[in-house]
Structure 1
Amino acid sequence: MNWGTKIVVSFILFVGLIATMVIISMRQDVSLVAKDYYVQEIAYQDQIERIKNYKGLGDNQVKLKYEVQTDKIVLILPKSYAGKGEVHFFRPSDASLDARYVLKPDAEGYQHFHASDFKKGLWRVKISWHENDREYYEEKTLII
């Protein structure tokens, strides 16, 4: 094989490699974490205030536990909770698995979720509520 043929073969292999890389990169999902990302970014100062209000609760903060024995996720709210809110189970790797629930704790402040309703792996649990003209927000990490 002479040097001219080697150059042509090298060029064809290079073009094949680049074409393969383009095809692979075109098939990757590059969606944003949230569809309204830019709107959320603009309103983030309000989010900072919600987080600040939450941290001001002191010992009355929200707790989240995964109980393996009962296969339940337990959300523990302050007993004084009397507001309205939402729990958002956010799956960073697949938005189609996200779930939202209304906060409905029992008299002791507990709210239970069946872990079997959720795929195993990493979840971010976003808890937001308003009470007494104040808004609160907390985000917890959960591994099922």
Structure 2
Amino acid sequence: MATTHHTQTLWPYGIVAAIILFAGYIIFFVTKAMRQDVDLVSKDYYAQEIAYQDQINKVRRTAAVGDVDVDYQPGKQAILMQLPAGFRGQKINGTISFFRPSDETLDVEVPLQLGRDQSQQVSIEALKPGHWRVRVNFSANQQAYFAENSITIQ
């Protein structure tokens, strides 16, 4: 009497199990990704776009009148900010902002107080050495203007 041995291989079960585990893995990450909150567009996108266009207009308006010079004077620990001659005789209000890209807590803002020659000297002794952006925001004759320069304080 011959007995037949039925040896069953486990390969088909292993392959099916691997496919099920892989599908479960994919489903887990897809559901995790779907629940992730991604804000590519801000809630007030339209208002920000208008503000950005206003900023572009300010820069263009300033460039049309002339360059705002920001001269770093390391010996005096000061900057000399000079408005273009086209602003002579106009009432000008505004601010000079020292913006530190690496640390916003170091940012400083001073009021614009121009002399007769349309210039202002600002002490920078309190500013730490490094890269700074000097932003001049001002208005004259109900028109807004803006200029930005970079300096490196040593």
Match of 1:52 among 31, 47, 60: 60
Q: Which residue of 2 aligns with 1:90?
A: 99
SS in 2 for 1:44: helix
Across the aligned residues of Structure 1 and Structure 2, the Cα RMSD in angstroms comes to 1.9
Q: How many percent identity over aligned positions? A: 34
1:73 maps to 2:79: yes
- Cα offset for 1:134? 1.1
In our comparison, the structure showing a higher alpha carbon Rg is 2
Gapped regions of structure 2 (runs ≥ 5): 1-43
- Cα offset for 1:140? 0.5
Instruction: State the 4+ residue runs in structure 1 displaced beyond 6 angstroms.
Output: none
Tell me, in whole angstroms, the C-alpha distance in 2 between the residues paired with 1:138 and 1:68: 21
Match of 1:124 among 126, 133, 141: 133
- Cα offset for 1:116? 1.1
How many corresponding residue pairs? 106
- Look up the equivalent residue of 1:76 and give its one-letter code: Q
Tell me, in whole angstroms, the C-alpha distance in 2 between the residues paired with 1:140 and 1:41: 23
TM-score (norm 1): 0.66
TM-score (norm 2): 0.62
More divergent stretch after superposition (126-135 vs 72-81): 72-81
